Amino acid sequence: MKNILLVGAGKFGQLTAKRMNELGHDIMAIDSNEEHINEILPYVTHALIGDATKREFLETIGVTDFDVAIVAIGDDFQSSLETTSLVKELGAPLVVARASSDVHKKFLLRNGADEIIYPEQQLADWTAIRYSFNHIKDFIPLEGPYSIFEVEIPETWIGKTLAQLDLRRKFSVNVIAIRRDEGLMADMNPDDPFSKGGTVLVIGKDADVQKCFKM
């Protein structure tokens, strides 16, 4: 369990708080909008109405007591930068800031953000990959050219085993799990033949995965 400082209780902040609450974390939410605070209350441990661009206000909270500070302000460029800078100056060990554009991202990094969340860009990347190719069910970008893809099991794989397909040698692609109606299975036997239906999760360079599945 972690102590989370969440600055910005708009829709993105609320969705973040809801999921973190489900994961069992303690969350302190801050927003200058009373309506936002009322909406986020069911998902947080504590909530305060206040201006996070004011040093005096942030000093009363004890920023260093939190494991992570998430600056979820996306629609006010200046407030986002000022809050990120102040939270870092006051000793937050990890500052994660939301960006709404490439320029915003660059300035946040210069103003003390340790990591950047760029929801619009990340969702755009996912949508582009997901709907550009047939048979892809999900897509998780990793560092550099690597990604995890969830892909329908190809017809040409039916009756064959991982050992027979030899994907690692032929395409530099690794199968990490298979998903069927009964759930996700990560302990696959390389000598078990594939049957019809379901999907596989594979990891590799985007170009190699595309070649492997003839995307």
The per-residue pLDDT for 133 is 80
The 10s digit of each residue's pLDDT in 42-71 is: 999 999 999 999 999 999 999 999 999 999
Judged against a pLDDT cut of 80, whether residue 215 lies above it is answered with: no
User: If you average pLDDT over residues 60-83, what whole number do you get?
Assistant: 94
Could you tell me the pTM of the whole model? 0.76
- For the chain, residues classed under CATH 3.30.70.1450 are 126-212
The per-residue pLDDT for 129 is 83
- For the chain, residues classed under CATH 3.40.50.720 are 3-117
- What is the residue type of 51? D
What is the pLDDT of the chain when averaged over all its residues? Answer: 92
The per-residue pLDDT for 121 is 86
Instruction: Mark 99-126 as b/e (b = at least 16 C-beta within 10 Å).
Output: bbeeebbebbeebbbbebbbeeeeeeee
The per-residue pLDDT for 214 is 83
* CA angle centred on 170, ends 166 and 172, rounded to 5°: 95
Judged against a pLDDT cut of 80, whether residue 204 lies above it is answered with: yes
The per-residue pLDDT for 134 is 79
Q: Given this structure, which CATH class describes domain 3-117? A: alpha beta
More confident residue, 55 or 187: 55
Residue 57 Cα to chain centre, angstroms: 29
**Residue 21 neighbours by CB distance under 10 Å:** 17
Q: Given this structure, which CATH class describes domain 126-212? A: alpha beta
